Amino acid sequence: MKLGKISNSTFYVMVCLTILSFMSCSSDDDNNGSSGAIAPVAQEASDISLTSFRANWNNVFRASEYVLDVSADSGFSSFVDGFDNLSINQLSQSVTGLNSNTTYYYRVRAVVGGVVSGNSNTISVETNTQFPDDVTLKSATENNFFVGVAVSEARTNISSYDEIYTREFSSITAENDMKMASIFTGIDNTGAIIYDWSKVDALVDYAEANNINVHGHTLIWHRSLPQVLENFSGTDQEFEDLIEQYITDVFTRYQGKINSWDVVNEAIDDDPGVQWRDTVFLQRMGEDYVEKCFAFARAADPNVKLFYNDYNMTFDGTKRGKVLAMVDDLLASDLIDGVGYQMHIDYNFPSTQQIQDATDELVAKDVLIHFAELDVKVNAANDLTELTEERAMAQSQRVQEVVEIFNAIPQNKKYAITLWGLKDDDTWLIPENNGRPEWPLLFDASFNKKQAYQGFLEGL
């Protein structure tokens, strides 16, 4: 049959009908939903860190939202908690709470007119294993807050300790060398105090030589009492006069060199029904002995920042309430500048929310905040004979959480985070717990950085 000549307009209509027919008959592929909604194109991740990254993708015309999946499995048989079918109304999403040195995968879908497209291409991303070598704890916190470490005078003379102390830390605290029993060595026959200043002098000189802050720890603590005061036979007033003289002499000697002190340590009783721990200071000086000691310190040097320091503050709300009531009384008399929350915690206790809530209560006070004595136990249940990768990662995550909470404190209330020791085999916890293995610090026994070190940096 011979076809007649067709017009240009008729030809154009025929071509359009053919194209539309082809489009309606073609099958969907993996990148399109049944409605023909176009899938996004996933793009390379950005802002990759130890425990997070940012997933990115392109815009899809008229998409009202996007749906993101993140998995450690390329087949997406399981998902990262919180990132299974996550609805997002932007073109990127921060993915947090991940493990370091781990490969993750993400894909995304577009929602157009209430219909979800097929999956995008899959992007793989590996979280970092460490920060650059030139990033240190000190450089990362510079002009933000002090990062401190508990030291001994003897270890400052050991090169392997000295190298890390000076590289990583902007503040030092004497673990034992500045406690009363180390300085107050006796009373002579005239009634004057006999002092041994040698270790404190050496630590102050070391700090000055290396431009490091010194936080004094601690003037009054019931577990560091000279024998001569334990068995003091004089009157209560004579006992109190010795305490005032001691505080005055310490502050006078180190005026302008030690600019903050834990004046009283652990004075509040753990018993919910008791306010004051039963100590020789309570017995000899009365229930207002804490206020007296702070008053002695303030009179000795009005420029020194005065702190109260105690433990279990992150989870024991009753004890914390007693401490904060005492702080209110001291604030009313302008006798206190800061509070130390001792951070002797476990990798899984207390909860992050408990630490946050306790911190919020302290932020509400007009005081500097010190996360003091930080170590993170990983073997409280005595279920490890060596530090496992899983437990090391859990410890790192806990350190990160603590640092994140501290870093979010208003700038004018941040004082310091102080690690209670440099490396695992130096920790006080091993002898305290009859030799039970423990690995609570940021460096291992060979002075190597642990995952917990990276967790600290990540928390910033």
- Catalytic, 153? Answer no
Distance CA 188, CA 185 (A): 10
Distance CA 437, CA 353 (A): 28
Q: Which residues pair with 376 in a beta bridge?
A: 345
Q: Which of 266, 291, 401, 438 is catalytic?
A: 266
- Written as one string, the DSSP assignment of 431-452 is HHTTT-----SSB-TTS-B-HH
- Residues 125, 106 contacting (CB under 8 angstroms): yes
Among residues 173, 147, 175, 170, which one has the least CA distance to residue 459? 147
What's the farthest any 2 CA atoms get from each other in the chain? 136
Tokens 């310091």 belong to residue: 416
- Residues 290, 267 contacting (CB under 8 angstroms): yes
Q: Provide the 10 A C-beta neighbour count for residue 383.
A: 9
In sequence order, the 6+-apart residues with CB closer than 8 A to the CB of 274 are none
Q: Which of 373, 401, 438, 458 is catalytic?
A: 373
Strand, coil or helix: what is 341?
strand
- Catalytic, 373? Answer yes
Helices 451-459, 389-407: crossing angle, 10 deg rounding? 20
The answer for 112, left when phi > 0, alpha when psi is -120 to 50, beta otherwise, is beta
End-to-end CA distance of the chain: 82
> Active-site positions?
266, 373
